[in-house]
Amino acid sequence: MRITNSMISNNSQIHIGNAKSQLMRSQDQYTTQKKIQRPSDDPTIAVRALQLRTRYSHITQYADANIKDAIEWIEDSEGKLKSIDSILTNMKGFMNQGANDTLDAKQRSFVLETLQGNVRGIFEDNANGTFSDRYVFTGFRTDTSLLFMEDTKNLEYKITENFETKDIDAVKVVTGGASYDGGSAASYAADSPEEKKVYRMALAYDNCAGTNYKSDSATNEVIEIVLKDRKGNPIMDDSVTPSVPITYRPAVKASTDADAYDTDSAPGINFLYDTGELILSDEVYEKIQTENAKEKVTIEATYVKKEFEKGDIRPEMYFACKSFHTQSNREIEYADPSGQDIRYEINFGQVEKVNVQALDALDTDIYRSVDYIAQTVHAVEEVENKLADVEKQLTNTTDTTQTHNLEKLKEVLTQELSLRTGVMQEAFSKGLTAISDAQTTVNISLADIGARDNRMILTKNRLADEKIDTEKSMSENEDIDIADAYINLTQADNLYQASLSATAKILGNSLLNYI
């Protein structure tokens, strides 16, 4: 076969091109320290690289963003709950002091102011706190504060609040009582105070509305109480035919009314809208207990609140309710807020709850108990002021009849003071129980959130290990050993230089060189 110069030239070009391509690949590997530059270089490495990089991207998102944010949220919530627990511990000491010691006016004032300050510390300083500009205890409504941030007069709510039979307290109340009006000893004696036991449920709010929602004309819109079973169905009253749901529409009264605690008349429940209390008759209480013995009873109370002060809890954060804006006439209906769990995906197939709702961790009894204590303290102070005024008049009078009348009034007031002091101490005692229950609830939430925090920290550590392992696998799959890359580059360069040198020698000869 005759070998022509053209054939030699073409083959030389091919060999030089191959050597040059190999040199370029070796240079790319040496400079980038990667085995391949494009998928076509090695499809197997390319496919595995895509898989490993995708996994590494997910791990990085979980480890550096999701779980970091989740842990910070949980630890922020945990810190606030621990602060609340500390405040509750402090409150228990003052509650215990009020329940067991006879406090003078100055001490009572200090204790009450301290308790009210502690309540503000719980709700305003901690429960209403934020994390990264998101409210941490408000469920899905992270852009809405737990509390009203200012006095609000243009909103009214129709609230549905559920109670259990354990929420009914047997408390002592003092009715009657005399005041100086220039009367006789006999008239003062007739006004002697009486102590009676009543069954009481405290709504979540005081200063409720004594009128209807949206100013509807139907009187039964003010408040309604329905007994329901555990499934939420109304319990039927079988004592009548046909049976009807057991429903009460309490008499609307103020706590200052003379018959505020008189529940003998129908329907057997008084709604004291100014103090936010439901006073139950013995008959109604026994009826509820009877039904509860058959099947656990939920007492559903629907009532209206129209004015809110700065620091009041927004009803939608705790209850199913409706709100009506009196200026824009806009109405919003809020569903039951329970179960608003914010969940983060922190690992492959692992989702964790990061939030705690105020309704699960903080009972409204915390501040309602202090409200009730303030109510009893003010009642004691009122009687003390009356006594001080009577004693002053006794000092300044010489009239025998008036002295006799004032002495009788003093006796009646002293009796009332003793009774109201006992009621006040009972209020402190019940407050102590409420605070203990609240602290138990907070500690349960702390235990739950602590367990979640521990799980997340373990997951974070595991993700850190997986990140390192994945980086190692990526390096083994994609990176080339620098020594091998250098050797390959040197070999490719030598091959390229050799091909150029050989071609130069071959193509430098012509046919005349062989003649």
Q: Is residue 110 part of a domain?
A: no
Q: What string of DSSP letters covers 21-52? A: HHHHHHHHHHHH-BS-SSGGG-HHHHHHHHHH
What is the rounded CA–CA span in Å between residue 301 and residue 276? 12
Q: Is residue 380 part of a domain?
A: no
Strand partners, 173: 196
Output b/e per residue, 218-255; b: 16+ Cβ within 10 A: eeebbbbbbbbeeeeeebebeeeeeeeebebbbbbbeb
Identify the CA nearest to 122 among candidates 77, 73, 78, 80. 80
> Which amino acid is located at 72 in the chain?
E
Q: Is residue 84 part of a domain?
A: no
pLDDT tens sequence for the chain (515 residues): 666 667 777 777 777 777 777 777 777 667 777 777 777 777 888 888 889 889 999 999 999 999 999 999 999 999 999 999 999 999 999 999 888 877 888 888 899 999 999 999 999 999 999 998 999 999 999 999 999 999 999 999 999 999 999 999 999 999 988 888 888 888 888 888 999 999 999 999 999 998 888 866 554 578 999 999 988 899 988 777 788 899 999 999 999 998 999 988 878 999 999 999 999 999 999 999 999 998 899 999 999 999 999 999 999 999 999 999 999 999 999 999 999 999 999 999 899 999 999 999 999 999 899 999 999 999 999 999 999 999 999 998 888 889 999 999 999 999 999 999 999 999 999 999 999 999 999 999 999 999 999 999 999 999 999 999 998 988 788 777 777 767 877 887 777 777 777 777 766 655 555 55
Number of domains the chain contains: 1
Q: Is residue 131 part of a domain?
A: no
Identify the CA nearest to 160 among candidates 319, 308, 299, 274. 319
Tell me the pTM.
0.85
| Tokens (6 digits) for 110 | 């200090």
Per the CB < 8 A criterion, the answer to whether 391 and 410 are in contact is yes
Per the CB < 8 A criterion, the answer to whether 146 and 135 are in contact is yes
Q: Is residue 257 part of a domain?
A: yes
- Helix, strand or coil for residue 300? strand
Q: Is residue 247 part of a domain?
A: yes
| Tokens (6 digits) for 129 | 């706190």
What is the rounded CA–CA span in Å between residue 123 and residue 319? 17
Q: Is residue 283 part of a domain?
A: yes
Q: Which residue has the tokens 């002495």?
A: 407
| Tokens (6 digits) for 91 | 């409150």
| Tokens (6 digits) for 237 | 């009253």
Q: Tell me 235's DSSP state.
A: P
Q: Taking the CA atoms of the chain, what radius of gyration do you get in angstroms? A: 41
Q: What is the residue range of 235's domain?
A: 141-339
Q: Is residue 243 part of a domain?
A: yes
Cα dihedral 430, 433, 437, 439 sign = positive
What is the rounded CA–CA span in Å between residue 365 and residue 442? 13
